[in-house]
Amino acid sequence: MSPRPEDSPSDSTSTSHPSPEANEFSPEERTLLLKLAHEAIASAVEGREAGLGAPSPHLAEPRGVFTTLYYRGALRGCIGYVFPVASLDRAVAETARGAAFEDGRFSPITREELPEVEVSLSILSPLRPILPEEVEVGRHGLLIRLGSRRGLLLPQVPAEHGWDRVTFLEQTCRKAGLPPNAWQMGAIIECFTAEVFGDASAH
């Protein structure tokens, strides 16, 4: 399953807001995952094998993840896996490379940009069904689908834009290419939380 640029969180350069439940990964694991993302990008730019090493059992667990890149404060790429299709270490490496070179909204990252590229990771919990009235802005991300259409927004997006719960539901429907009221008309609504962390100055 290829990473999906269309499921990127937003085109905003606002600061990410971690989930209140963002405590699964230790500072050492966060640092390791960020280094892994940077190494995956740098090795691709420099045309060499990535020195990824062996993951710990925790980081070898399958997880959904989005990697967002910034350059000088501006969004530079974002691609992710909604579903846990690969171990977390592999998913971080693949989505980092995808964000750097496969997000069609941007040109590929260059060697000159490499030293200033900043990484933000959003590690997703498993999806679960949720009722519209249970959606909590700032805590839940949403996946809304109807037929072959689906749209996803990460938990930090409504907080960045100041949306209320209804607006969040409507905007996720729009992301799917559905009418904004599709969440009231039989669309399937699923939620997840995300642990969001990044480089010290990443947005």
Cβ-Cβ contacts under 8 Å for 48 (sequence gap 6 or more): none
d(CA 198, CA 119): 6
**Among the residues of 59-152, which ranges form H helices?**
88-101
pTM: 0.80
The pLDDT tens digits of the residues spanning 107-131 come to 999 999 999 999 999 999 999 999 9
What are the chain's domains? 5-125 (3.30.700.20), 128-192 (3.30.1490.150)
Q: How many CB atoms lie within 10 A of CB 198?
A: 22
What digits encode the pLDDT tens for the residues 124-164? Answer: 999 999 999 999 999 999 999 999 999 999 898 999 899 99
Yes or no: say if 12 and 159 are a contact pair by the CB < 8 Å rule: no
Quick check: 192 and 201 in contact, CB under 8 A?
A: no
Per-residue confidence band for 49, with pLDDT thresholds at 50, 70 and 90: confident
C-alpha dist (Å) from residue 131 to 7, 63, 79, 156: 21, 24, 27, 19
Instruction: Look at 203 and 177; give whichever has higher pLDDT.
Output: 177
Q: Which amino acid is at 59?
A: L
Asked if the model's pLDDT at residue 12 lies above 80, the reply is no
- Region 67-94 average pLDDT: 94
